[in-house]
Amino acid sequence: MDSTLTGILNQRCPRCRQGRLFTHSALNLAHFTEMPPACPVCGQAYEPEPGFYWGAMYISFAFSTGIMLVVGLAVYYLLGDPDTWVYTSAVAIVALLFTPLSLRYSRTLMLYLFGGVRYDKRYATRQ
């Protein structure tokens, strides 16, 4: 049984939860943002309207804020309140490393939460 959380974590189509939302691995830095126009399994359009994913910037901002808080607290407690440049460097490096995941999950959440698409088990056929 496929849950919404599993679909989000695996970055799958919100309607069938089988088709991949992205065409390449997150580690492929040249193409990690590429999405097919529609689900290869059920045909669901991945961009409900032009410019739909602009809203994902707000979700990505929340992810970045969380990263800054966690890294800042970790640096504070692990390194004993070092100089400001240590905080800045640590946050910048971790935020840069998490950029592909942050972008992908912000788009995935945007599609699941605001795309107007609901799970339909009629489309959930195995590949």
For residue range 92-120, list pLDDT tens digits in order: 999 999 999 999 999 999 999 998 888 87
DSSP the chain: ---HHHHHHTTB-TTTS-SBS-SS-TT-TTTTT---SB-TTT--BS-SSTTGGGGHHHHHHHHHHHHHHHHHHHHHHHHTS--HHHHHHHHHHHHHHTHHHHHHHHHHHHHHHHS-----GGG----
pTM of the model: 0.85
As for how many domains the chain has, the answer is: 1
pLDDT score for 10: 94
The domain in which residue 85 lies consists of 4-123
pLDDT in tens, 1-34: 468 999 999 999 999 999 999 999 988 888 999 9
